[in-house]
Amino acid sequence: MLKGKTILITGGTGSFGKAFLEEIILNHSPKKVIIFSRDEYKQHLLSKKYPPSLYPIRFFIGDIRDKDRLYRAFEGVDIVVHTAALKHVPLCEYNPIEAVNTNILGAQNIINAAIDKGVKKVIAISTDKAVNPINLYGATKLVMEKLLIAANAYVGTKNTLFSVVRYGNVIGSRGSVVEYFLSLKKEGIKEFPITDIRMTRFWITLKQAVNFVIEAIDEAVGGEIFVPKIPSMKLMDLVKAIEPECKIKIIGIRPGEKIHETLISEDEARNTYIYKNRFVILPQFGWKNHKLEKYKKGKKVEDGFIYRSDVNPDILTISELKKIIQKFQPQIS
């Protein structure tokens, strides 16, 4: 699906965007990759690693809030992977209209530009926080999902397909809890702050996330939400894996935070099918896409099913967590 195609990545200088770029450049022979983001310094650093004179990569400074810039950037593009978003939960709460402008109105700009410019497929990256959201960031990502899925109903003769990939925390990404705890260990701090000892989280590696999105690009027919089968971890087990001798300071749940994360709600389960390495959530509302019927050959999840981090059958052990963390800090034993 990617070979010989022109691919544009919004937010392409972020953790996922850089990992996705590396994978497709090394292994999928695209015609061209366009990195679209508003951080000129990160683009500069990325262009030093991948000089446009040696790689089929182009760098576009732009903001998804700017519809005209998107129209220019989407010229001749086959596939859009949409990762750009305001993601910091407290900052979104204190700057709500900024989150709306980027995560919702920006998504609508992408939809309009993709349809009008004849993009073949758009895959948007979402988050567990979009499920039963309790913070503004999650609410904006829920609306983003709804906009992308509904866009399939009014593409007309352009045949642009819109689908969503939804997953949980990325291990070792910038600002992750692993990075934070490892920094405390490096500084010699022996007391780790824990919000709640019951807390659990889904985990996915960057490589897994990238490969899953590539699978979704191949598979998508428009209107699906793809959810990977991924393991969970207990926060207390993570602490023990990083620094077994540390003391614990309970600081309480932060505003907008959940004790457990949900990737598929009980209500969504009514339209969810299970496969070997993923779930596929089909649209709940009335427009029809006969190509979606292919998923009904799969097994529907049981009534009352919920995909939540604490009831996930695949929960990482302390030993497994240590092996994963060693990839980020080899000296951890």
DSSP structure string for 240-308? HHH-TT-EEEE--PPTT--SS-EEE-TTGGGGEEE-SSEEEEPP-SS---GGGGGGGGSEEPPTT--EE
DSSP state of 104: I
DSSP state of 276: S
Segment 266-287, tens digit of pLDDT: 999 999 999 999 999 999 886 7
Phi-psi label, residue 283: left if phi above 0, alpha if psi -120 to 50, beta otherwise: beta
Residue 330 has a pLDDT of 46
Structure tokens at 110: 């992408």
Residue 328 has a pLDDT of 65
Report whether 99 contacts 140 (CB < 8 A). Answer: yes
Known catalytic residue at 42: no
Segment 237-275, tens digit of pLDDT: 999 999 988 899 999 988 888 999 999 999 999 999 999
DSSP state of 309: T
Bridge partners of residue 126, in order along the sequence: 166
Exposure of 224 in the CB half-sphere (CA atoms within 13 A): 28
The single residue of 5, 18, 117, 129 carrying the catalytic annotation is: 129
Segment 11-47, tens digit of pLDDT: 999 999 999 999 999 999 999 999 999 999 999 999 9
Single-letter amino acid code for the residue at 265:
S
Residue 175 has a pLDDT of 67
- Distance of CA 30 to CAs 3, 25, 26, Å? 5, 7, 9
Looking at domain 6-169+204-229+263-303, its CATH superfamily turns out to be NAD(P)-binding Rossmann-like Domain (3.40.50.720)
Q: Can you give the residue ranges of every domain in the chain?
A: 6-169+204-229+263-303
Distance separating alpha carbons of residues 200 and 261, to the nearest angstrom: 7
Report whether 225 contacts 219 (CB < 8 A). Answer: no
Instruction: Tell me how far the alpha carbon of residue 170 is from its chain's centroid.
Output: 8
Report whether 323 contacts 241 (CB < 8 A). Answer: no
